[in-house]
């Protein structure tokens, strides 16, 4: 390939020598920013309307530009757009070059007062805004699936864990909703990210502003932005919204990773609580008996990918001087890849949850009497004994059972009375897992009424527009 003739490029007027081929490839971004084609075209159509309001474009020229850009958009959508490998550095130059081929001289007026510095900000924010809206919808779908499964599996009890040790009995539904609670937080935080992303950069020029009195409020409204970016110098270098997206996604992926980890553990033979459907599993090339939860392991692994994108871009951003620098091109790829990764992971997780096979008998078998030691302590609290004292008494009961080699529910009443005379025959009622769970009936607890209230709250949330 011959060196690219710099004068043929949009910025090549002051250059006399060709750009090095490797430098052209190093500099180009069309290989990944082509996904922004629709946003770029819509931004250009709006800008053309604003130029028309200033009488810079005639009625006829506006019509030519709009029709031409719509044809360019159609070519991209149908996969018919032909890229010029010698001049198309990015989606902006590709679209403008093609527009000139379609309509001729009028295309040259479109860039009046406009810079690619503002253009890329418009494209990224428009594209991201649409994608974030879709992510919000997918996240609601995951929450709806979780709520539906929680309602179906309401009767099932399982061990609740702290430090990966059996702690107290809970409903399986309550465990499901514990993860849904984190996702609700992600959905709420997403609203703030969407708001900050929806600030219109159009009309700020390369860094100093537009010299023709362009109507920025009109353009923001026409493109559906919620606000107008307030400072031209900051605007062209503003990628805080990308950081917002990457950091929001990092926390979301941490939550999906933790849910994945639980499901991976619970699907092992050692637990046997759940089984991931074949549709979301793979096998071993060597061991025929294996069924691996690769869907969940990939989600867990991709969490690191997204977190790396967030920290990596912050490292690129931290020492940049004021205004636009080409380093900012490094914001586009991680943003696009991150949003794609999160979207896929959410859809996969929804599928895993919707098709998950649950084994209630395995969960029930994992419940042991020592998990009711706190209930033993609570029994004495109701008789007026301070909890710190009942805690030690209940611990002594557990130790007595261990020494005798029996479950504490099987200890004779005399053993209880030797440790505290306040124990009566009705202590046997404590050893009922269902009653233990139902006693936790305060807001946010694991009783059936509390769990149903959580389910109802999620259902209302996902139905909101």
The CA distance from 79 to 436, in Å, is 62
The CA distance from 235 to 262, in Å, is 43
Considering all CA atoms of the chain, what is the largest pairwise distance in Å, rounded to the nearest integer?
101
6 to 11, 110, 428: CA distances (angstroms): 8, 21, 88
Helix axes 91-103, 37-53, angle to 10 degrees: 60
The CA distance from 139 to 255, in Å, is 12
Which residues of 87-213 form beta strands (DSSP E)?
A: 157-162, 165-171, 199-200
Write phi, then psi, for 227 (nearest 5 degrees): -155, 170
Is-contact 154 434, C-beta < 8 A?
Answer: no
The CA distance from 318 to 321, in Å, is 9
- C-alpha 85: how far from its chain's center? 35
What one-character DSSP code corresponds to residue 158? E
User: Hunting for tokens 């490292």 — which residue is that?
Assistant: 315
Beta pairing, strands 165-171 & 157-162: antiparallel
The CA distance from 31 to 291, in Å, is 38
Which distant-in-sequence residues (6+ apart) come within 8 Å of 454 by Cβ? 150, 174, 177, 180, 181, 444
Catalytic residue among 284, 311, 392, 449: 284
Q: How many CB atoms lie within 10 A of CB 444?
A: 13
Q: Is 284 tagged catalytic?
A: yes
With residue 287 as reference, give the H or E element that holds it: none
Going by C-alpha positions, the residue among 123, 139, 152, 124 that lies closest to residue 189 is 139
The CA distance from 385 to 349, in Å, is 47
Which residues of 116-190 form beta strands (DSSP E)?
A: 157-162, 165-171
List, by residue number, the catalytic residues: 163, 284
């Amino acid at each position: 390939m011959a060196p690219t003739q710099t004068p043929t490029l949009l910025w090549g007027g002051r250059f006399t020598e060709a750009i090095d081929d490797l430098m052209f490839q190093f500099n180009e971004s069309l290989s990944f920013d082509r996904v922004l084609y629709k946003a770029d075209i819509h931004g250009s159509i709006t800008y053309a309307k604003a130029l028309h309001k200033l009488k810079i474009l005639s009625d006829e020229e506006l019509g030519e530009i709009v029709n031409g850009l719509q044809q360019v958009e159609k070519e991209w959508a149908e996969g018919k757009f032909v890229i010029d490998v010698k001049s198309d550095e990015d989606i902006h130059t590709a679209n403008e070059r093609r527009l000139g081929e379609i309509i001729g001289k009028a295309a040259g007026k479109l860039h009046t007062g406009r810079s690619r510095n503002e253009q890329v900000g418009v494209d990224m924010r428009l594209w991201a805004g649409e994608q974030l809206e879709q992510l919000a919808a997918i996240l609601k779908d995951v929450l709806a699936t979780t709520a539906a499964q929680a309602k179906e599996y309401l009767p099932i009890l399982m061990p609740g864990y702290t430090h990966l040790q059996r702690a107290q009995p809970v409903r399986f539904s309550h465990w499901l909703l514990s993860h849904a609670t984190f996702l609700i937080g992600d959905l709420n935080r997403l609203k703030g990210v969407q708001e900050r992303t929806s600030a219109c950069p159009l009309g700020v020029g390369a860094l100093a502003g537009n010299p023709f009195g362009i109507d920025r409020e009109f353009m923001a409204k026409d493109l559906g932005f919620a606000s107008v970016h307030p400072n031209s110098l900051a605007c062209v270098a503003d990628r805080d919204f990308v950081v917002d997206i990457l950091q929001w996604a990092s926390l979301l992926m941490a939550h999906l990773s933790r849910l994945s980890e639980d499901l991976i553990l619970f699907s092992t033979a050692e637990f046997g609580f759940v089984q991931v459907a074949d549709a979301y599993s793979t096998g071993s090339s060597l061991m025929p008996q294996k069924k691996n939860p690769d869907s969940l392991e990939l989600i867990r692994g991709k969490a690191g990918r997204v977190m790396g994108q967030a920290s990596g871009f912050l490292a690129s951003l931290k020492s940049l001087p004021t205004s636009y620098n080409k380093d900012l091109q490094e914001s586009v790829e991680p943003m696009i890849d991150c949003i794609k990764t999160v979207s896929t992971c959410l859809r996969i997780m929804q599928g895993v949850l919707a098709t998950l096979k649950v084994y209630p008998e395995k969960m029930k078998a994992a419940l042991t009497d020592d998990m009711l030691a706190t209930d033993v302590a609570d029994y004495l609290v109701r008789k007026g004994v301070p909890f710190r004292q009942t805690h030690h008494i209940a611990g002594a009961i557990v130790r007595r059972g261990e020494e005798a080699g029996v479950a504490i529910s099987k200890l004779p009443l005399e053993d209880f009375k030797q440790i505290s005379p306040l124990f009566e025959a009705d202590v046997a009622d404590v050893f009922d897992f269902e009653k233990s769970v139902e006693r936790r009936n305060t807001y946010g607890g694991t009783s059936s009424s509390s769990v149903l209230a959580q389910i109802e709250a999620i259902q209302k949330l996902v139905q909101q527009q």
